[in-house]
Amino acid sequence: MKIKKTIQPAFQKIHSLIMKTKAHTITTREVLSNSQGASALEIALASIIAVVLGILILNAFTGIFNTTIIPKVTSSITGMFS
């Protein structure tokens, strides 16, 4: 009797772990077989597009500052001290 009382909780824990493992296996299988969401290629392509657009915008602002704003500010400052 004493052995049975000692072994029974161990068997219950093992059974509980087996059931949890089966539940995780089913969940993992569902997640892996799910075809919704973005693929790695889509994410990479979106990242590349974002970087290229950022570079283009930065280049445009640099051009605007170098050709329009900085010469006007420079001539205004020069005119104030002349």
Provide the token pair at 30.
């569902």
Q: Domain range for residue 6?
A: 1-36
Residue 54 CA, distance from chain mean position: 18
On whether both 44 and 26 belong to a single domain, the answer is no
pLDDT tens track of the chain, all 82 residues?
677 777 888 888 889 999 999 888 888 888 888 777 778 888 899 999 999 999 999 999 998 888 888 888 888 888 888 7
On whether both 51 and 80 belong to a single domain, the answer is yes
pLDDT of residue 63: 87
pLDDT of residue 56: 96
Number of structural domains (the chain) is 2
Residue 44 CA, distance from chain mean position: 11
Q: What is the pTM (predicted TM-score) of this model?
A: 0.46
pLDDT of residue 1: 63
On whether both 72 and 43 belong to a single domain, the answer is yes
DSSP characters over 38-51: --HHHHHHHHHHHH
